[in-house]
Amino acid sequence: MRLPPWLRTNTFSNLHRTKSILRGHRLSTVCEEARCPNRGHCFSKPTATFLILGDHCTRNCSFCSVNPGRPSPPDPEEPERVARAVKEMGLKYVVVTSVTRDDLPDGGAEQFALTVRAIRESVAEARIEILTPDFRGDSNSIKTVLDACPDVFNHNIETVPHLYAKVRPQADYKRSLSVLRRAAGLSRGALTKSGLMVGLGESFEEVANVMKDLREAGCRMLTIGQYLRPEKNNIPVREYVHPDIFDKYKDQAQRLGFRFVASAPLVRSSMNAEELFLHND
């Protein structure tokens, strides 16, 4: 299918400095690894979503272009490198995510916690959002991360239940809901957040039902965006959803009581995350 006009992005300048800082500190971003269409916009601000725990994932989701494979052991210096990059970039709002690390007993939770604490020590006023994998549903891992006191705990539900076998074959819909439910229950004031992709063959009613499930799990912030195929070996787009439908999704979510909803074709889970948080602050 040809890309509709509402999905065409502009070319941005002043990207070199952000990339130079990231390379200088030997850091990866999900913006680059997942081929996000907004990376030019975000890097020019500058902002970025830091990808910790390596650039190889122990899972192989059909929508994602991050390389599957055997990851390296966690780098003990990585939290400090992220913190130094945050300071050099002048960030006041930081988003940290990771590949899924099913090879680690805690799923990488301790590395998340160390990174949050390192950022706090380096830039005390920074607000921090973490976008986590499901940690195989382990409550201790979720608690480890929340004990570091991030401002936002984000875990993406990604899609509707009947598409999980195609889109997230190694994940589980109910398990992802339980992660958000446990995070809401263990939270020390952190907002809970989740995100959905559309255009994979879901119906409006299915998306609305996922929203209900997320609210019942204690989720307070929601992002909804168009799935775009990052590479030819990823699952194809079934539909380019019209912007009017995204507006209807937003209306439905607001009626369900989400404190903030970002719903538009180019919305991504961490895009404009600072603005989303400040709306709730």
Do 99 and 74 meet the contact criterion of CB atoms below 8 Å apart? no
* Residue 213 backbone dihedrals phi, psi, to 5 degrees: -60, -40
Q: Are strands 191-198 and 221-226 parallel, antiparallel or unpaired?
A: parallel
pTM (global) more than 0.85: yes
Q: Give the residue from 222, 96, 98 showing the smallest Cα distance to 150.
A: 96
Q: So what's the pLDDT on residue 140? A: 97
Q: How confident is residue 175, by pLDDT bands cut at 50, 70 and 90? A: very high
- pLDDT of 264 > 80? The answer is yes
Do 34 and 65 meet the contact criterion of CB atoms below 8 Å apart? yes
The structural domains of the chain, with segments of one domain joined by +, span 10-280
Q: So what's the pLDDT on residue 6? A: 78
CATH of domain 10-280: 3.20.20.70
Do 128 and 120 meet the contact criterion of CB atoms below 8 Å apart? yes
Q: So what's the pLDDT on residue 24? A: 73
